Homo-oligomer: A and B are copies of this chain.
Amino acid sequence: MKTLLVILDGLGDRPIKELGGKTPLEAANKPNLNQLAAEGICGLLNSVDIGVRPGSDTSHLALFGYDPSVYYTGRGPIEAAGVGIELKQGDIALRVNLGTVDKKLIIKDRRAGRISSVKPFEEDLNKIKINRVQTIFRAGTEHRGALVLRGPNLSSAISDPDPHEVGLKVKKITPLEKGKAAENTARVLEEFVAKAHAILESHPHNKERVKANLLPANYLLARGAGVVPHIPPFPEKYGLKVACIAGGGLYKGIGRLLGMDVLPVEGATGGANTDLNAKFNAVKKALEDYDFIFMHIKGTDALSEDGDLRGKVHFIEKVDAAIPIVTSVKNLLLVLTADHSTPVCLKTHSADPTPILMHGEGVRVDDVKEFGERPCAKGGLGRIKGAHLMPEIMNILGKSKLYGA
């Protein structure tokens, strides 16, 4: 039996007047999702815990059975994994923006005029040498990248140089706790940022930008330092060969961090304009080779954050139309849920639980006939937490370890 876990990011919502008191999911025309609900078991899920409003990072860790209170050390490690850096336990990983500063180190733009890529700087920034510490810089999308510090005596307890506001001077990096490790790390990062600034100031690509009347990407703004924890890889933890199919970098990063094969899909954008058919077809193909597919769909969340009610309803209908591509796969355990709710009225994550459905041979069937927040509240799974999801899946797969005798 194979497993497909579809995360419809930010799917959960609240009753909306314009929809006659229904949520976008309830209002959507979704015959296929309703059939899956009728044939399977439903419930409500809080990825971290009841009343907790989770980030995208903590929620996904929790859903895969990695307690975020143990494995979440900041966004840095996930971003660094997302841009493809091979992390080692003990690495200090940071998110990085390349921004624009003036001669007095006053921030003029935190995103260097939304530069399309910082890839042209990657090679030269990786030439920086720091005594006893290896540094790895990797470009991400647009102005973004990740930086990893590797070596002895390092700590993530350092302040961010990023003042998070235009017109302010970049901040000195300081240790946030006593001890040599934090002091050393602050010094190393200061040195790296200074050397990077010197390189970027005189970099040919920036000279071209200035000539073209564009802002130069001349300063490295780091944040979200986190130490890379020991993470038992998903394939070892569960004995399942696993692939990740996602458009957004963060979700690919989570996949990589957990030891999943991240499969590229042409047309997967990590937004509402993604090619859903291409993604579901890629999932169907991957199910031939893998035991477990983590499929991430961002559109529901992106549209919620835009407050685009009709867009969210329509996007759910598009997911419903595409899902028969995979429901024809035999011996499939299909699990459909979200990482958190993103009510369109709030345009941000909330702690409301998300609907969940499980469908496949061996799943107990309940009386829920429709996939929606209100019907799922009466489902046979009850109200579960993210930490319960993988154990419930392993139970259906017949792979639960016996506790006791």
Contact = CB atoms under 8 A, between A and B. Distances in A.
B75 A405 contact: yes
Contact of A404 (B50, B54, B388): B54
A115 to B, nearest CB: 22
A404 B72 contact: yes
Contacts of A401: 53
B391 A380 contact: no
From A351, A379, A380, A403, residue with most partner B Cβ within 10 Å: A403
Interface of A is mostly: loop
Given A15-B365, A366-B374, A374-B364, A388 B68 contact: no
B50 A391 contact: yes
A353 to B, nearest CB: 8
Interface in A36-64: 44, 48-59
Nearest to A389: B51
Interface in A384-403: 384, 388, 390-392, 394-395, 398, 400-403
Given A44-B382, A51-B392, A400 B351 contact: yes
A394 B350 CA distance: 10
Number of chain copies forming the complex: 2
A109 interface: no
A151 interface: no
Given A351-B395, A365-B374, A380-B374, A403 B58 contact: yes
Interface residues of A, number: 57
Contacts of A404: 54-59, 68, 72, 75
Contact of A53 (B23, B50, B402): B402
A388 B50 contact: yes
Contact of A349 (B364, B383, B402): B402
B405 A224 contact: yes
B377 A366 contact: yes
A391 B21 contact: no
A317 interface: no
Contacts of A343: 362
A2 interface: no
A49 B404 CA distance: 13
5 contacts: A48-B403, A51-B400, A54-B404, A55-B405, A382-B383
Interface of A: 14-15, 21, 23, 44, 48-59, 68, 72, 75, 224, 343, 345-346, 349-352, 362-367, 373-374, 377-384, 388, 390-392, 394-395, 398, 400-405
